[in-house]
Amino acid sequence: MYLLELKEKLAVILGVSPLDFVYPPQTDLGDLSLPLFNLAKSRGQNPAALAKELTESLSSSLETIVKTVRAVGPYLNFFLDPSSLAGGAIQDIKASGDDFGRNDSGSGLKIMFEYSNANTHKEYHVGHLRNLFYGDAVQRILNFNGYQAIPVSYINDFGIHVAKTLWNWRQHPEFAKANGSKGKILGDCYSSAAKNIGDDETAKAEVVETMKEIESRSGDIYELWKETRSWSIAYFDEIYQRLGIKFEHIFYESEMINDGLCLVTEFLKKGIFVKSQGAIIANLEAYGLGVLPIIRSDGTALYPVADLALAKHKFKDYQLQESVYVVDIRQGLYFKQLAQIFVLAGEKFNITHLGYDFVTLKSGMMSSRSGNVITYNEILAEALNRAHIAVVSRHDDWSADKVAAIAENLALAALKFEMLKVSSDKVIVFDADEALRFEGFTAAYLQYTGARLASVVRKAGVIKTLDANISLLTHPKESALVLCLARFPELVSKAGEQRDPSLIARYLFELAQSFNDYYHEVNVLKAEKSLLSARLDLLLSVRQVLFNGFSLLGLSYLEEM
């Protein structure tokens, strides 16, 4: 990649690392900047004095790489030759196409990403969407960085929440008679169960018995479990398909529980687990990790039982270098406990927790128990309605099918982008009005930029760009746009290292702003033919990089909007 190679050349000449270079906050300060604090310290010099010294000594030797070198306080600022930068960057993009930005830094390491660990018999809500979109984007980015990232999901279909739902289902036959989405009806039943059980000890005991009946895998309750479980699975599959999410495999707790119970017996014999007041626990206080309950005193299994079996299955059967769990930050301790248990068992399993902060509402935290959630169905319906209104207002001559297709893409992209533009360590206060705006730092703004690009290309007609004279791209706005394009491979690499899709989201917004600034100031279509050809090459490069970035976030690129 042109910019990366250029930085490596400069780094060799100056005796620094390519990572030491930064980008100035203003274009009039240069295209690249090198803070000299560390280099000056190693040489025992004043940074500002060293900057002046290097400027004088480097100006002639760097003529073929940069246009001008300036000392600005303790910084060495480089102004790149616009023609060389444009030619190198655009050639890279044209040659690589959909692979522009792809690298092999991951060296083919096999990493399994487990996300969208939803519970059957519960409603899918906006909080689940952050997990789903975050996990999907990170595995896409790592695959683009040369890892073998395997996306999987693990569905909790066998926990106490299921027993509560089925207990309530039998108590209130009206749920079985209700019309509508069966997945939603089960979610309503669970919310109702949490309220109905409350502090009622008799109800709690009945729920435990229901759980034991399910675990026995026989009888009426078990048959009801199988039927209602299938409703939830079909509901999840419908969501994944509509959102463009693909898993290589989906694991289920019910498939892992028996192997997990065998591991519990094994770890009891080894002294890794102990019995305590009728329950079975992992006492990890010696490692600063507290106590992890494994089996309840009533004999029913807790979720670590199946997790233990699944972790062993992953590493033994898939030969992984790392298993990543995309789960909210509240579970950070749990995954340290899980990893420590395997250390005590003599297994070298590289277990990683990729956490993210909460999604809350303006009214406070969401809870599926209280029903204080925005469900997936609700937010999608609202997004589709607003997107439909926006499309019709711009294109009242479009067919109903075309309006529906574009509105669908706009709505889904809006939901994804709102969950990805915020770094994982930040709380998202979900605001439907904000999420569905069609201007500012939103998916619709990015998609509109893509559609505008396509429109300009169509208006230009068939222009030969293969032999375009890129050296004609000397306008300051063109140089700024080219530099932004050239930075994409670095952003991809950084996003992979930090496992942070928000870096890609912010970059795409910056690129879209740079293009729109350029488009407003420079009349592309009225340029004479040779310059038009070069500018069209530039626009096609912007379109390619936008497309590649969109793909990493799982967004649709629209040619019309």
The structural domains of the chain, with segments of one domain joined by +, span 2-80, 115-365, 376-553
Q: What is the pLDDT of residue 259?
A: 97
* Among candidate residues 138, 499, 148, 116, the one with its CA nearest the CA of residue 321: 148
Dmax (CA) for the chain in angstroms is 87
CATH code of 376-553, in short, is: 1.10.730.10
Task: Quote the CA–CA distance of 548 and 186 in Å, as a whole number.
Answer: 39
**What's the order of all strands across the beta sheet hosting 66-72?**
32-35, 75-80, 66-72
Strands (DSSP E) along 284-406, which ranges?
A: 291-295, 322-326, 351-354, 359-361, 364-365
Per-residue pLDDT of the chain (561 residues; tens, 9 = 90+): 788 888 998 899 889 999 999 999 888 899 999 999 999 999 999 999 999 999 988 877 776 678 899 999 999 999 998 888 999 999 999 999 999 999 999 999 999 999 999 999 998 988 899 999 999 999 999 999 999 999 999 999 998 999 999 999 999 999 999 998 888 899 889 989 988 898 899 999 999 999 999 999 999 999 999 999 999 999 999 999 999 999 999 999 999 999 999 999 999 999 999 999 999 999 999 999 999 999 999 998 999 999 999 999 999 999 999 999 999 999 999 999 999 999 999 999 999 999 999 887 666 555 544 455 678 888 899 889 989 998 999 999 999 999 999 999 999 999 999 999 999 999 988 776 776 677 789 999 999 999 999 999 898 876 555 578 999 998 999 999 999 999 999 999 999 999 999 999 999 999 999 999 999 999 999 999 899 999 999 999 999 999 999 999 999 999 998
Reported as type and span, the H/E element at residue 6 is helix 2-14
Q: What is the pLDDT of residue 284?
A: 98
Q: What is the pLDDT of residue 1?
A: 73
Q: What is the pLDDT of residue 244?
A: 97
Q: What is the pLDDT of residue 465?
A: 56
Q: What is the pLDDT of residue 377?
A: 87
Residue 459 and residue 453 in contact, taking contact as beta carbons nearer than 8 Å? no
Which residues, at least 6 apart from 175, have a Cβ–Cβ distance to it below 8 Å? 168, 169, 185, 188, 189, 192
Q: Which fold, 115-365? A: Rossmann fold (3.40.50)
Count the residues in the chain.
Answer: 561
Q: How far is CA 368 from CA 50, 189, 264, in A?
A: 61, 11, 30
Which residues, at least 6 apart from 541, have a Cβ–Cβ distance to it below 8 Å? 89, 90, 93, 94, 485
∠ CA(486), CA(491), CA(493), 5° rounding? 115
Which residues, at least 6 apart from 345, have a Cβ–Cβ distance to it below 8 Å? 267, 270, 272
Task: Quote the CA–CA distance of 132 and 243 in Å, as a whole number.
Answer: 10
The tokens 């709102």 sit on which residue?
418
Indicate the CATH number of 2-80 among 3.30.1360.70, 3.40.190.10, 3.20.20.410, 3.40.50.720: 3.30.1360.70
Task: Quote the CA–CA distance of 236 and 247 in Å, as a whole number.
Answer: 12
Q: Tell me the Cα Rg of the chain.
A: 28
Q: What is the pLDDT of residue 402?
A: 96
